[in-house]
Amino acid sequence: MLRFDGLSKRFADQLALDSLSLEIGPGEIYGLIGPNGSGKTTTVKLATGLYRPTAGRVLIAGIDLGREPERAKRLLGYIPDEPFAYERMSGREFLHLVGELWGVPQAERQTAIARLADLYDGMEAILDGHVEHYSRGHRQKLAIVAALLHAPRLLIIDEPIVGLDPESAIRTRELLTGFAAGGGAMLVCTHTLGFAEAICHRVGLLQNGRLVAEGDLASLRVRAGVGHASLEELYLHFAAGR
């Protein structure tokens, strides 16, 4: 569903991402982890078409994002690290706008909004209030619902649970694992390593724009020579260059 071929991005004299190649298949959740400045958000913005690569290419379901951006992006749902919605709209109005932009018919939008809002306790009650009065957590939930509204096949998420209370974080974990179980693919960038360990089938560690370690937990433990390490412990091991 998502493939990077030798993906690089340079800003002036800084190489933010250096020849990244990876593949994410249907039904797979891939976690990209790394320190600040390692290239995670650059990777997300390249994968969503917000940045153009200096070299390499992004393929979504085999479609070259650079050559056919509209066709590729129709398969994509994006949840940024800072959720955006128009402040003077209600949450419901914003979701209808998003659905209209994706070409989702009104009756389908109404059904989808009701179904997705019901995933979070109390969300239906706030949808008719202006976004400017939403908490950070409510804005995050709105962004998640908006990303799923057009039934994408691929989700790209930069920090999925920032601002969410524990119950909403659990609901989000269930939502994302359910998306993958239904055949969807997902790239998740996060500093919340416990969350990544709970949902990701594979993880990759970025450092200075390079992928320095990749695999499922079992293979990473073998490579590190430890039997029962958590993802946090593995992160510290590989980040130290061992």
- Alpha-carbon distance of 95 to 233, in angstroms, equals 40
- pLDDT tens column, 77-106: 999 989 999 999 999 999 999 999 999 999
CA-to-CA separations, 124 to 91, 114, 135, 164, 175, in angstroms, rounded: 9, 8, 15, 16, 17
Question: In the prediction, which pLDDT does 242 show?
Answer: 59
The structure tokens listed for 92 are 């419901």
Q: Does domain 2-75+152-239 have CATH number 3.40.50.300?
A: yes
- pLDDT tens column, 220-242: 999 988 888 999 999 998 888 75
Q: Are 59 and 67 in contact (CB under 8 A)?
A: no
- Alpha-carbon distance of 165 to 156, in angstroms, equals 21
| Stretch among 8-17, 41-50, 223-232 having the lowest mean pLDDT | 223-232
- Give me the residue spans of the domains in the chain: 2-75+152-239, 86-151
The whole model's pTM is what? 0.93
